[in-house]
Amino acid sequence: MRTILLGAPGAGKGSVAKLLTEFDGSVQISTGDILRAAVQEGTKLGKKAKEYMERGDLVPDSIIMEIIEVRLQEPDCKNGFILDGFPRTIAQAQELKQIIDRLNIRLDLVVNLEAPLDVLLERLETRRTCSNPSCQEIYNIKRNPPADGGKCKKCDSPVIQRADETKEAICNRLETYNSKTAPLIDFYQKEGLLKNILSLTLPETIAAIKKELNSLNKH
């Protein structure tokens, strides 16, 4: 399956994407994870992206498109992919359309994960992330805490709060989402690909998405 996950920060894109890859062998492509890894490793890309990310601003489209164009051509994308956190602007969505055409593939579904603002805020404030760039497992201090000593259950690295998880950056990310990313809901509605799914508990959300994917398979 070739899927896009849309949704505000805290809507659950990362957690949902990780579980969906186990379902059908698609790879998760998270531009946020790719950028955070680059920042931690101090690469050229990371140096360009760092300041935008810490403020909660979007990284320029040109940088993002370069990452995506290369990533979508890697062999593991043959079984399908789940785009998590991309596209985030109309310009990115338009360029993605061209890349997809050039690669001679098509998108199956765009899932818009919905949750009320108070739920988003609470999730963002209680979220913690594994600091190992190649892991980035997601935790929640209330509902899904890391192992003793704040260590990742998967790789034993320290679990930390992201640099953009301050109150100020969170507010800015939500505003950026509303002005730049929310218009994509309409864009994909017009393309006939959009499905709105309520994202309150993870098991229910996954079940609803699987149902959608199964009904696509039957057509």
Residues found near ligand ADP in the complex (CB under 6 A): 9, 13, 31-32, 35, 52-53, 56-59, 64, 85-86, 88, 92, 164, 173
Of the candidates 136, 139, 27, which has an alpha carbon nearest to the alpha carbon of residue 84?
A: 27
Question: Segment 131-150, which members bind Zn ion (CB under 5 A)?
Answer: 132, 135, 137
CA distance 204 to 170: 26
Q: Which residue is nearest to ligand ADP (CB)?
A: 32
In the complex, the smallest distance separating the C-beta of residue 219 from ligand ADP, rounded to whole angstroms, is 30
> Which entry of 50, 123, 162, 195 is annotated as an active-site residue?
162
* Closer residue to ligand ADP in complex, CB, 127/195: 127
Residue 193 binding result from ligand ADP, Zn ion, none, given CB thresholds of 5 to 8 Å by partner type: none
| R_g of the chain computed on alpha carbons | 17
* Closer residue to ligand ADP in complex, CB, 138/193: 138
* Residue 131 near residue 158 (C-beta atoms within 8 A): yes
Give 202: exposed, middle or buried? Use CB within 10 Å, 0-12, 13-18, 19+.
middle
In the complex, the smallest distance separating the C-beta of residue 138 from ligand ADP, rounded to whole angstroms, is 10
* Residue 32 near residue 85 (C-beta atoms within 8 A): yes
* Closer residue to ligand ADP in complex, CB, 26/31: 31
Whether 55 sits among the annotated catalytic residues: the reply is no
* Tokens read off for 38: 């680059």
* Residue 69 near residue 124 (C-beta atoms within 8 A): no
* Closer residue to ligand ADP in complex, CB, 54/108: 54
> Which entry of 2, 36, 123, 127 is annotated as an active-site residue?
127
Kindly give, in sequence order, each residue whose CB lies less than 8 Å from that of residue 27, ignoring residues fewer than 6 positions away.
21, 76, 77, 79, 80, 81, 82
Q: How many CB atoms lie within 10 A of CB 217?
A: 10
Whether 36 sits among the annotated catalytic residues: the reply is no
Q: Which residues pair with 151 in a beta bridge?
A: 147, 158
Whether 173 sits among the annotated catalytic residues: the reply is yes
In the complex, the smallest distance separating the C-beta of residue 162 from ligand ADP, rounded to whole angstroms, is 8
Residue 85 binding result from Zn ion, ligand ADP, none, given CB thresholds of 5 to 8 Å by partner type: ligand ADP
Residue 167 binding result from ligand ADP, Zn ion, none, given CB thresholds of 5 to 8 Å by partner type: none
Residues that bind Zn ion (CB under 5 A): 130, 132, 135, 137, 152, 154-155, 157
